[in-house]
Structure formats: C-alpha cells, structure tokens
Structure 1
Amino acid sequence: MVEGAEGRRVNPVWRTRVVATVLVAVLSVSSIALALITTAEGARSALGPTPAAAPFRIFTVGDPRLSVATLNPLVMTSAEEFIITYNVYSTLITYDGNYRLRSDLAWNYSVASDQKTWTFRLVPDAYFTNPSNPGDRSHPVTADDVVFSFRLNLNESASIFNSYTTEFTWQGITALDAHTVQIVTNRPYSGMYTAASVIPIFPRYVWSGVNNPVRYSNANPIGSGAMYYDVANTSFGSNFVLRRNPNYYGVAEYCQVSRPDEVVFAGYTSSATMIADFKSGTSGLDAIAFVGPADYLAALPATNDPNGIEKWAADAGFVAEFNVNVITPEIRASNSQFRTGTNNPLLLNYTVRKALAMSVNKTALVKYALLGLGREADSIVPSANPWHYDIPPSEEFQFDPAAARAMLNDAGWKYDAAGNLAPGTTPLYKAGGTDPLQFRFYVVNTYAAFQAAANNITQWLAQAGIQTTDSRGNPGYHVYTYNQMVGIWFSADYDLWIWDWIFSPVSDPSLDVLEVETTGAIGPTSDNYYSNSTFDALYNQSLITLDPTARRSITDQMQRMIYDYASYILPYYQLSLYAATNGRPGTNPRAGWTHYGNWSQSIGLTPDSDLPNLWFDVEPLDNRAPVISSFPDVQWVSGSAATISAGAADPEGQSLNYTFDFGDGSPRLTTSSGTVTHTYAQPGTYPIGVRVSDAEWPVCGSATATIAPPGSFNLPPVATLQVSEPHQTFAYVGENVNFTLSVNDTEGDPVYITWAFGDGASTTSYVTGTLSTKIVQVAHAYSAAGTYSATITYTDNQTGPIPHSKTVPASVEVRTQPGGGGTPTPEANPWINYGVPLGIVLAILLGAAAILVRRRREAKRDEEGGLPPPPPPPPPPPPPSS
C-alpha cells in the first residue's frame, strides 16, 4: 500500500501517558496515543460547532479499469476490492501516507523480551458500523472480535490471509480482557507487523454464523474503519461509494477525520475517456488513477497548469508478468479446482523456458509500450522495494531469439510437422513431428500496453521457433476480460499469459511477495503453480529470521531461484500514473479539493493505496483545515508555570479553538488562545498535545515537556512564535512572510535570536529589557515555491539544569503565482519502424483498454515506525554485483 509530502500535517494527537524520567518501561513502548478527546461530548467540544451551512462534499476518483467481483476480504484479488476492504475494516496497526507504521485499532502494542509474546491494547471507543443503519452503536469492537478474526484466517486454508498466520496457534491468540489481545507465536516472527497490518478485524456477531467463510458473499460489509460501504448507492461492478463512518474512533483517538462525506470510485471504459471528462469537469472528477502512458504524456498538462491540475508518476510496485504455467500433473490431480484446466507439459522443460526468457526484449517494451514510464524488471520483488535483489547484468537472460532457436535445435527441436529436418521452421518439432513448441497465450484486457507487449512477444518467439496461439489454436494470442482471466487463473487453464501483480515499495519480501511462489500458495494465490521444497524451506526460514542481514541473504537467494527457473519472466516495472485537480473546472471551481501532497513520494496517499490517508489529508476549497505552523517542545521546572504555545492559522480566517493535553493526567484545557501556562507538580518527561479546530476540522500537534526539579538557578527565556503569511496559510513567491517572536526572561537577561528561514538565508536579532515581554519581528520573502522548515533559535547565553538555547520550528508554504504551464510533447511515434501493427499503436495512444482490475497482493508496508516496539530494521544494501 502510500506517502510524505503531507506538508503541514503533524503527528496525531496521542492518548495520554505519563512518562517518568527514570524506570521507563522500555518493553511496553506505545504509540503514546494521547486522545485529547475521548468522549463524544469532548469530541464535539474539540471539533467546534458544525456550521449548519456545511455542504455535503463528494470526492470522486476516476478509474478506467474498475471491477469488483467480491466484497469478501478472504478471497479478494482486484485493486478495488482491496480499497474497499481497508477503508471499511480496521486492522490492529496500519501505515501513514509515507508508509510509516502507526497505531490503528490497537493504540498500544508491545513485545516481550522473548520476541514471541505480543500484547495489543485496543481503543475503547470503536464500533462496528452497519451500512443499513450507520448510526447504530450497539456493537462495540472488542478483543473477542480480534481473536475471532485471527483464528478465522488461521483455520481457513483458502483465505488469502492464511499464510500470515504461519507462526500462530489457536491457543496462542487470546483475549486478556475486553480491550487487550495477546498473541504468542511459535517462534520469533519477522512478519508480525505485516500480519497485524493486513488481517481485517471482522464482527464476530456476523461471521461466527457463516458456515463457509471463503464462499460468503458479505453483501453488506460491516466494519469499523474510516468509511463504510454505501450499498444503496453503489452499482456493483461499475462504481462504488464509500461514506464517512460516523462512528470512526480515529477522529477522537488520532485526529483523523475523512474530509469528504462521500468518496466515489467511478468506472470508465478507457483512460482517454476518463481524462476528457476529468479536464472538462463534466462529472466532477477530482482525481484519476490508472492513467495510460500516452495519455499521461500528451493529454495531461505539464506542471504549473493554470487550471490547477497536478499529475504524478509513482513507482508503486506494479510488476508486469509474462508467466509460464509449470503446474505438474501430480499437483493438478491432487487439487480439484485445477481438474478442469489443461497446460502444455513441455513448459516443464527448462530449455523451453530459457528460450522463452531469451525471446523477450524488455528494453523495447519499456521504451515503446510504456513510453519510458517504467523500467526493466528482473525480480518479483519490485525495484522500488528495499528488499529487491538486482540480478547482475552478466547473469541475466539476454535477448537473442536466434541463440534461443539454436539452443532448441541442439535439444532436438529441429523438425517440421512432417518430421522433416527444418531447424528454421516455426513451430519447431522433435523427430517424427512430435512435441511441437506451440503454446496458448492469453492476455488480460485491462491495459493496452499488455496487448502491445503480447504482439511483440509473439513475433519474437516466432523468431526462436515457438508459436503462440489463441484458445482455438489459431496463431497469435487471446484477449480475455478480467473475470475470465480469474477463472483461468483458478483452474490453471493456460500455457503463457501476460498479467500483473501490484506490491508496494515496502511490502514484506516474504509474506507479501515471495509467498506467491510457495507450494502452500498453490490454490489461493499462486498463478504459475511453482513448487520447490528448497524454496519453501527458505521461505519458512525467512519468517523467523530477525537479523536483517541474514534475512536479506535468504530473500536474495529466493529471488534468484525464481529468476533462474524462468517461469516468471517479468518484462517491466511500470510507474503508476495519476492526476488531481485543485478545484473543479466549470462554474464553481471552489467546489473541489486541494492539499493532495506529492503522490510520487507519498505512495500511501494515492487513491488506490488501499489506505484512507488521502481522505484525512485533502481539504475542501470552501473550508480548508487550520494549519499548525509551530508547536515547540517545552523545558521548565516543576512547581512553576510553564508556557505552552501553538502557532496556528485558518485559511479562511475563522476563529480557532485550542485543546491542550499536558500529558500529566490533569484535565485538558480548551481555549481560544494558542498560548497557555501549566504547572507540573513533578519533574519528568511528558508528552503534550494540541488539537486546533475551526468550525469543522481538527488538526493536531505533539511535543514533549521536559520538567526539571526546582532550584536556585537561572531560568531560560520563554518565547512564543507567530508566523503570518499573506494568504493566511501560504505566501506566493516574492511575498513577505512575517515571523513574530514574543519573548521574556525571568531575570531580564538579554536574548539573542537567530532566524533561519529554511532556504539558506538567515539573520539575527538582539533584545534587552526582557523582564517584560518584547516583540521581535522579521520579514522574509522566498524566491522559489516549496514547503520550508524555518527554525528560530533564542538564548540568554546562561547555563543551568534546563537548556537555555531553544529552537522553535515553523513550516512555511510558498506557492507559484497561478498561470503559465504547458504540455510536453511526447516522443515521435517509434512504433512504425519497430514493426508494431497500427491497431496496437492506436490502442495505446487512445488508451482503449476495457475494464481494468489489477490483481493485487496487498502492499503491506514498511516495517519501520516511531514509538511502537522497533520493527526489524530495513534490509542492508545488497552486496555489489560482480
């Protein structure tokens, strides 16, 4: 699953915990989720009064390949099915827009020193929401629901989540109380973070009565996530509608609220049709996904578009696959789901598979099918993933159809159908006109580039002596719909195909990616039916290897095995292409949205990331969210009033409410002032939080108060910062931004101030007479657009047990004045000289792909995080290739 350039977004408001200066319980590090508002009444106070005139806001995403075949998470396969699942259902933990680990249903989680005993503490205010009656709160989420969900997937071998429960036992998953779950694994388990972030939490009161969970339609999905599935307004299979969950715990627990009341994924028949609608504003599209390469380059404007269109190319884990079916007769006979299918047993011959691999020109496919918007592939673990193993160029299969033919001739394939010696014929036969190199070749109709690739691969294979056919034996290939391909997949009824997997840049290399090549995956997820006991043993070892260097050695070996076997012949890693518009074209441009972030960097913000992060971050143009520009840490002494200050502004100039949590268990304080004082009774380190709200939206910040024991010593100066931007929350290039520091010092010491504006420029100030508050102001104009991290450092140059030099950070957004822009000119069409039929060219340039559904293994995210127990470190860099 993304993203990131979240700009002004700060850490969530966290649940209150007091952390002493000594004897901190290291093994129970939590996400310190300081829920500033934990009651419904408190939440209303923090959010402020909802204006009666607040409109019902819809965010619409265009999707030219949309398809939803099931609402049952246990058997989902398409991208859209994953989107629905992880918007509707909660998981114990999840990831933010930058794929950093964060709390979800479990606000706190810890692992014991044995590295096997995990404890998850659930938020107390989570409820299951029934789309038929969204306001009903009669079914709270409890530890029993979590235990049931994990045991369900442990028990159901056909569930796509079953592989995540390898190290679990039925007895090892228990509820300690209504809001505490303990999971004891068989051995230290490197996949726990992935498992906890991928297994949806189901309502036990619904699913416990289901006799066959993997065949359950789940037509009315009931979950506790940020959104609920709007059954009444969804046209199943052509669009789907998600509504803001009125019971979502994330508003109070993590300061996360879906800004759209409703999110619509609208299906289109082609990328070109979608883009035309997007640019005209006819249907109110706010964002589009799955854009075709030619459309991205030619039909979408360049940056600085005067109409407010932004576009992104993201390396989001798309892996195209030219697959070779290697199912054995024994595996087919032992599994009833495969008995109706057939495959050519000659593909079990390594020489044949190697010849296939030598007949795919990956360089050409990237250049012409993707128009350069991708890169050549080797491993099933995408190149954007840090666990990717890069096959040394000298050891890759080289494109050489002539050499492939010679190799086949040497292996006995050098005759024609009549048994005559004919080493140059196609298809090649063995002696007696036997064993023809003739294979059915299927292509999913989800993407025009797939058909372009298939057309070229067919011709390259013919040069090697291999003939591809459609399902009836006619030369060429057969194009199928997504649903037809799913049927072919689950019956193993093909010889060769082109399709794709989508992983994330931070998917777990074993559980999320390499698992599809294990013997245990044959049936639920495997699509080439590879089975190798050595590979399976390495996979199992990778799940219990915690040392990243040792684990990398294992996963590198597994990737090399898959490459060398030549059943997964991967042509390219494709960039995922998106666009969004700031406002909507037409008569009411302020009816739309803004504040998208940078999807090229923040993959977890993309609309198809499966995560609801984008809904938390986008802002309606008619009422943008407040901006916290500064919320510095506090250093003071106990028994004396400490000043706590948050600098914030509202884009529309609305008045703001500030709710402070002091982290010491004292009552929260709500005020209209951004500066308050608080006296800490005891020394210690306290997590502090602020929730800033206009009439509609909350935003939150976090900091730390370090409180020292009282004594006879010089106290540091105290200051508050206000950043004033010409347009409330931003400035244009060349406009002055005013930084105002209000400072005083208990002893009246002179204060020295250094202003660093984040663009390389800085200045200094000096102020005296600080027994009373002094106001110091400087102005600075930025010469380029961007988000700048300014820092203001002040000191009285004294010493003591509390630091006397303090730094206040501030975030400044600078934009380019509207206007300008242009459209890039795509490269001259190279297809004509490359031998690609005109029909394929037109298919690419017009984006004439029908419904798309990406098969998707859920992109389970980066195993790194802040305050929860530290996940395994990222893999070490791969050794240099020889």
Structure 2
Amino acid sequence: MKKFLAFMLVLTMTLSLAACAKPAPAAVPETPQEEKGFKDTIVFAPNTDAASLDPHVQNDTTSEQVVKMLYNTLLKFGPNGEITGDLADSWEVSEDQKTWTFKLKEGVKFHNGTEMTAESVKGTYDRAMDPSNGLVVGEIVKMFEKVEVVDKYKVSITTKEPYGAMMALMCNMSLAIMDPAYIEKYGMDLGSNAESINGTGPYKVVSWTRDEELVLESHDDYYGDKALTKKVVYRPIPEAAARVIALETGEVDAIQGVPANEVPRLESIDGLSVYKAKSIGQRLFRFGCNDSIVGNTKVRQALIYAVDRQAIIDSLFPGLSYPSTAPLAPVTWGYANLGEIKQDKEKAKQLLAEAGYPNGFKTKIVTTERYAKGVELAEIIASQLKEVGVEAEIQVMEWSAFLQTIDGITAKEFDAPLFIMGAGPSMMDADGGLRGLYTTTLTGKNDRNYGFYSNKEVDELIDAGMKETDPEKRKELYKRAQEILYLEDPAGIWLFDQLTNLAHSSKLKDVTVSPISTITFEKATIEK
C-alpha cells in the first residue's frame, strides 16, 4: 500500500479556524455544550441553497459541503494529506492491481438505525455504474467492472484495467455510501427533500425548506467523534451585500463568498474574522468547440493571449485569487506549473490573421450571476477581446437555465462559444480534474465535457494516466495533457485560482475548511 499512499500526499490538510480566534476547549465536555458556555446552534449563510443532497447527483460546492456532513466514503483524506480509512478499516489490492478489497467498520449506523454493510456499498456503486440511470457519476466509475460482497463487512471492487487514482476516488463524495433501501424507495428523487436522506455522517437532516432554510441535527449514533454542536442551520442569502449585513448584525455566524472589496473592512471589525486558504478552485471561460469559429485551434490560441488576467484579478478579486498556471490548481495532485499566460495583443492579432480572421469576428459570451462577479467578468473579457478585433455579445442566464445548457444536450443544440465555468476535482487528483471534462464525449452530448472539446492525443494521455499506477509516469502523462489543454489546443481561458474564504464571528471555532472549498462544522463550536 505504501506506493499508493506516497503519490497521494497532496495539500489536503483540514484547516482549522482556531488561528483566527481564541483556542477551542482542549477536550470534549462531558455535559451539554450549552452548559459549558457554547450555543447549541450555528447559523451559516452560503450564497445559494444546495441543489441536491444525493451524492451521485450533487455537482457543486454548496451541495457537496452539506453532503459531507451527512454521508461518509470508504476512504478519506487525513489532516496531512495522507489517505486514511473512513467507513473502511483496511484495504488491499490484488497483484494485478485490478481488484481492491475493503474491510468495513462494524456497527456503523445510518441515520434511521439501519446498519451499514457490504451490501450498502454494493447497492451504492451498482447504482452509480448503471448506465440506464443517466447519472454523471457514471463517468467517474466507468473503469469499474464489478462490485462483489465478500462477506457482511467485506466488499471487493474489480476494475477493467489498473487504475492509478483508485484510492483518491474512494475519497470522492460522489461515491459516499447510501442506504440501498432508500435508493430503491426514492430512485432519482433521493436527496431532493429531508425525508429521502439517510446517511452515516455526523449530522442528519431534520427539515429543508428550499431556498430558505436547511436544518441539520447531530447524529447520536455516529461511529466517529460526535459533533460538538447540536444543530447547524444553512440559510442561503444570494446577495453578497445582504450576507455581509447578516454577519455584522449577528443574524448569522458565518458567511461564504465574501466580496473581495469587503475583506479588509471585515478583518478590521472587532469580533469578526476572515479566513482564506488555497483551494482546488479555478475560474475559466471554456470554449464551445462546436462553434464554427471558436472550433478553430488558432482562434482559441489567439483568445487566450487577448486576456489580461492580472487586470481582472486586481479589478474584481484582489487578495482572493492569483493567476492560473495550468488547467489544475497547485493543490491538485498531478498539477504541472506551465506558467501564467501574459496578455500579448500583437500575438493574438497574428494568430487571428493566421486563422483567417485578420479583422476579427463576432461571437458570444455566456455567463451567469451564480458565479461571483460573473457578469463583470464577462464584461471585462469582452472589452479585452474587442482590443484585438473580436466583438462579443454577452448573454446572462439564470442558473437553472444555464445548467440545462451544460448537461445532456447535443452539439447542434449547444450555443455558447465562450461560457463561464468553475473547475476543481473533489478527488484532488488530475484524473478527476481532466477525465470526462476534456475527453471526447462518447454519447454525443455534453454530460461532463460541456464544450465538446476533442483532441485525440489528450484522450490517449488521460486514458493512459487513468490506467498507470506508477506515480511519476502518471505525472508525465498528465503534464503533457495539460500542455495541450492550456496552450497548444486550449479548451478554455483559464483566468485565476481561487482562495476559499469564510467570514465569521470570532466566537466560532474549529470550522473545517478543506482545499476542495467545502466548509463543514463537524468539529465546530460557538461561544455564547
């Protein structure tokens, strides 16, 4: 197992907010928290509600961070980047590197009291593997050949080929273990309301009023360290200014997505703190490669040199981001530093001329306000593109409508030559950050390859990286793939890597802020 652990030593440490405030108590109190000077409820304001709490369906940070409070995976990232057991006590891989056997913890209970067993794992993964479900998670497990119950507490997973990122994949919340009875009962409605959620995590859902309030309560039969705060309330506030006011007035204890211009002021207010940390998160504008003009490689090369990334950061996100240097952020395993792409307007014009557009062309940028400063980003990029002769109309879409355009439609239907996107793999491995997103779609629809990007060499490199178990060889394969995606045949305009940020009451201690940008409260307390 050592060679698999070695290559997964990434910056995945759990980050404590204790440094921002007074230290938390050294030991878990033996009496109720409120009797020890702590509140029994933490109120948190994200910018939006969870879209789905079905591990197989959730595909955004807001949903995933709630799922992490409710469910568990077979393995997890430890505080120093090592991979450790979660629901699995131990594991081993066969000599041919294709069959993984996991010994499960005994006595783990779902929220309804049902015991988690090998049948739970099989039921979860069978659902993910079933192509008739049409789940995006199917791409993540496409290398799985079969899942078998060895005995009540032992399960084996056989892959079609050796899979170098298997241990990282087992940490992915998209593969959190669910109750098969709930899968059968709720089908694709699982995770859509409080009644349909039954995990093994430290918290359980007690109520959920869409776009208003999601209430979690500690799971008394949790097999790990018990949550220190009884309730966590998620109260989504879409407007950034309103979130800040809610924090300042004490209506909420913490907010996510702090506007960059507000950070210095909030840091100066007594009783408030702002926490920042590097993450897997990136912001880019992807290319719709089905477009008759943007599908031209030289056009895409021209556009990546037309943009001034530092000017965008200085204008919109000072102190909360830094220029991207690859299609992966530095905290992701397999990242290759390819350098910042500096604006070069003359080079952009030359490439446009070589592509057959010496006088530029007209195009469209699609954006949504769901992403921070999404409209402003599009406006600045349109302005910069105009300097090299490209006139871009801006189309602003509601989040729900935008999601429908990047999931399950054909190239003929897709109409977004340039479109805003976030990026960052929850499994913190290059396989999760590249495969599916930039490999040729086999269905003809944009299930994960939103912009219909297709490059034969990239396909081959990413496929080889998936099957390779030698970490150094995997890195070389992914480096070459990133060179193509980022510079030679670009799939998008990578703008900046993001810092996860959290503004909170200084009385709030030990919130877990992970490099995958999720914020969880399983260890948190808040003083009265």
Give the TM-score normalised by the residue count of structure 2.
0.85
Q: Which of 189, 192, 201 is the matching residue for 2:163? A: 189
- For the 8 Å contact 1:225–1:248, the answer to whether it is kept is yes
Deviation at 1:547, TM superposition (A): 1.5
The CA deviation string for residues 806-827 of structure 1, in whole angstroms up to 9 with x for no partner, is xxxxxxxxxxxxxxxxxxxxxx
- For the 8 Å contact 1:517–1:526, the answer to whether it is kept is yes
Deviation at 1:214, TM superposition (A): 5.0
Q: Residue 238 of structure 2 corresponds to which residue in structure 1?
A: 269
CA, structure 1 residues 56+531, in 2 after alignment: closer, same or farther (shift >3 Å)?
A: same
Q: Residue 287 of structure 1 corresponds to which residue in structure 2?
A: 254
Q: Residue 368 of structure 1 corresponds to which residue in structure 2?
A: 315
Deviation at 1:581, TM superposition (A): 1.8
User: Aligned runs of 1:447-596 on 2, under 5 Å?
Assistant: 447-469=371-393, 477-490=394-407, 491=409, 492-503=414-425, 507-520=428-441, 523-563=446-486, 564-583=488-507, 593-596=508-511
- For the 8 Å contact 1:158–1:523, the answer to whether it is kept is no
Q: Residue 835 of structure 1 corresponds to which residue in structure 2?
A: none
Secondary structure (helix, strand or coil) at the match of 1:468 reads: strand
Does residue 276 of structure 2 align to residue 310 of structure 1? no
CA, structure 1 residues 371+4, in 2 after alignment: closer, same or farther (shift >3 Å)?
A: closer
Give the Cα separation in 2 of the matches to 1:186 and 1:447.
Answer: 38
Q: Residue 3 of structure 1 corresponds to which residue in structure 2?
A: 14
The CA deviation string for residues 329-375 of structure 1, in whole angstroms up to 9 with x for no partner, is xxxxxxxxxxxxxxx32111122222222211112112222124321
Give the Cα separation in 1 of the matches to 2:502 and 2:34.
Answer: 35
Give the Cα separation in 2 of the matches to 1:355 and 1:445.
Answer: 26
- Which structure shows the bigger proportion of residues in helix conformation? 2
CA, structure 1 residues 187+402, in 2 after alignment: closer, same or farther (shift >3 Å)?
A: closer
Q: Residue 241 of structure 1 corresponds to which residue in structure 2?
A: 215
Specify every segment of 5 or more residues in structure 2 that has no aligned partner in the other structure, as ranges: 1-11
The CA deviation string for residues 142-198 of structure 1, in whole angstroms up to 9 with x for no partner, is 11111111122122373232233233212xx21121111122333332122123222
Root mean square deviation of aligned Cα: 3.0
CA, structure 1 residues 166+406, in 2 after alignment: closer, same or farther (shift >3 Å)?
A: closer
- For the 8 Å contact 2:121–2:155, the answer to whether it is kept is yes
Q: Residue 203 of structure 1 corresponds to which residue in structure 2?
A: 179
Q: Residue 159 of structure 1 corresponds to which residue in structure 2?
A: 135
Give the Cα separation in 1 of the matches to 2:24 and 2:467.
Answer: 36
The AA in structure 2 aligned to 1:121 is: K
Deviation at 1:411, TM superposition (A): 4.3
Secondary structure (helix, strand or coil) at the match of 2:384 reads: helix
- For the 8 Å contact 2:24–2:509, the answer to whether it is kept is no
User: Aligned runs of 1:697-736 on 2, under 5 Å?
Assistant: none
Q: Which of 286, 289, 296 is the matching residue for 2:263? A: 296
Q: Which of 128, 136, 144 is the matching residue for 2:119? A: 144
Deviation at 1:557, TM superposition (A): 0.7
- For the 8 Å contact 2:425–2:432, the answer to whether it is kept is no
- For the 8 Å contact 1:515–1:539, the answer to whether it is kept is no
Secondary structure (helix, strand or coil) at the match of 2:402 reads: helix
User: Aligned runs of 1:719-798 on 2, under 5 Å?
Assistant: none
Q: Residue 4 of structure 2 corresponds to which residue in structure 1?
A: none
Give the Cα separation in 1 of the matches to 2:29 and 2:40.
Answer: 18
Which of the two has higher C-alpha Rg?
A: 1
The CA deviation string for residues 806-852 of structure 1, in whole angstroms up to 9 with x for no partner, is xxxxxxxxxxxxxxxxxxxxxxxxxxxxxxxxxxxxxxxxxxxxxxx
Give the Cα separation in 2 of the matches to 1:47 and 1:278.
Answer: 28
- For the 8 Å contact 1:320–1:570, the answer to whether it is kept is yes
Secondary structure (helix, strand or coil) at the match of 2:306 reads: coil
Q: Residue 321 of structure 1 corresponds to which residue in structure 2?
A: 284
Give the Cα separation in 1 of the matches to 2:143 and 2:103.
Answer: 21
Deviation at 1:320, TM superposition (A): 0.7
Give the Cα separation in 1 of the matches to 2:376 and 2:96.
Answer: 53
Q: How many residues align?
A: 499
Give the Cα separation in 2 of the matches to 1:387 and 1:411.
Answer: 32
Give the Cα separation in 1 of the matches to 2:365 and 2:143.
Answer: 39
Does residue 299 of structure 2 align to residue 384 of structure 1? no
- For the 8 Å contact 1:2–1:609, the answer to whether it is kept is no
CA, structure 1 residues 513+59, in 2 after alignment: closer, same or farther (shift >3 Å)?
A: farther
Give the Cα separation in 2 of the matches to 1:438 and 1:494.
Answer: 13
- For the 8 Å contact 2:201–2:219, the answer to whether it is kept is yes
The CA deviation string for residues 516-555 of structure 1, in whole angstroms up to 9 with x for no partner, is 1122485332222212332222222112212111111000
- For the 8 Å contact 1:70–1:81, the answer to whether it is kept is yes
Give the Cα separation in 1 of the matches to 2:259 and 2:424.
Answer: 16
The AA in structure 1 aligned to 2:106 is: P
Deviation at 1:280, TM superposition (A): 2.3
Does residue 99 of structure 2 align to residue 108 of structure 1? no
Give the Cα separation in 1 of the matches to 2:423 and 2:104.
Answer: 33
Does residue 525 of structure 2 align to residue 619 of structure 1? yes
The AA in structure 1 aligned to 2:59 is: T
Q: Residue 31 of structure 1 corresponds to which residue in structure 2?
A: none
Deviation at 1:261, TM superposition (A): 1.0
The AA in structure 1 aligned to 2:496 is: Y
- For the 8 Å contact 1:190–1:546, the answer to whether it is kept is yes
Q: Residue 712 of structure 1 corresponds to which residue in structure 2?
A: none
Secondary structure (helix, strand or coil) at the match of 1:518 reads: coil
User: Aligned runs of 1:123-134 on 2, under 5 Å?
Assistant: 123-130=105-112
Q: Which of 609, 622, 640 is the matching residue for 2:518? A: 609
Give the Cα separation in 1 of the matches to 2:191 and 2:201.
Answer: 19
The CA deviation string for residues 252-302 of structure 1, in whole angstroms up to 9 with x for no partner, is xxxx11111111122123222222221221x1x2222111111112x3124
- For the 8 Å contact 1:89–1:202, the answer to whether it is kept is yes
Give the Cα separation in 1 of the matches to 2:117 and 2:338.
Answer: 47
The CA deviation string for residues 625-679 of structure 1, in whole angstroms up to 9 with x for no partner, is xxxxxxxxxxxxxxxxxxxxxxxxxxxxxxxxxxxxxxxxxxxxxxxxxxxxxxx
Q: Residue 178 of structure 1 corresponds to which residue in structure 2?
A: 152
- For the 8 Å contact 1:97–1:603, the answer to whether it is kept is no
Q: Residue 405 of structure 1 corresponds to which residue in structure 2?
A: 349
CA, structure 1 residues 409+68, in 2 after alignment: closer, same or farther (shift >3 Å)?
A: same
Q: Which of 286, 292, 296 is the matching residue for 1:345? A: 292
Q: Residue 101 of structure 2 corresponds to which residue in structure 1?
A: 119
- For the 8 Å contact 2:50–2:63, the answer to whether it is kept is yes
Q: Residue 762 of structure 1 corresponds to which residue in structure 2?
A: none
The AA in structure 2 aligned to 1:187 is: E
Give the Cα separation in 2 of the matches to 1:317 and 1:512.
Answer: 9
The CA deviation string for residues 370-419 of structure 1, in whole angstroms up to 9 with x for no partner, is 124321113221133352212256xx4x42334433443454435xxxxx
Deviation at 1:95, TM superposition (A): 2.5
Give the Cα separation in 2 of the matches to 1:66 and 1:116.
Answer: 40
Secondary structure (helix, strand or coil) at the match of 1:516 reads: coil
Deviation at 1:558, TM superposition (A): 0.9
Give the Cα separation in 2 of the matches to 1:510 and 1:51.
Answer: 42
CA, structure 1 residues 72+260, in 2 after alignment: closer, same or farther (shift >3 Å)?
A: same
Give the Cα separation in 2 of the matches to 1:202 and 1:269.
Answer: 30
Give the Cα separation in 2 of the matches to 1:169 and 1:578.
Answer: 41
CA, structure 1 residues 216+595, in 2 after alignment: closer, same or farther (shift >3 Å)?
A: closer
Secondary structure (helix, strand or coil) at the match of 1:579 reads: strand
Give the Cα separation in 2 of the matches to 1:512 and 1:214.
Answer: 26
The CA deviation string for residues 776-819 of structure 1, in whole angstroms up to 9 with x for no partner, is xxxxxxxxxxxxxxxxxxxxxxxxxxxxxxxxxxxxxxxxxxxx
Give the Cα separation in 2 of the matches to 1:51 and 1:577.
Answer: 27
Secondary structure (helix, strand or coil) at the match of 1:75 reads: coil
Identity of aligned residues (%): 19
Give the TM-score normalised by the residue count of structure 1.
0.53
Give the Cα separation in 2 of the matches to 1:403 and 1:353.
Answer: 12
CA, structure 1 residues 570+366, in 2 after alignment: closer, same or farther (shift >3 Å)?
A: same
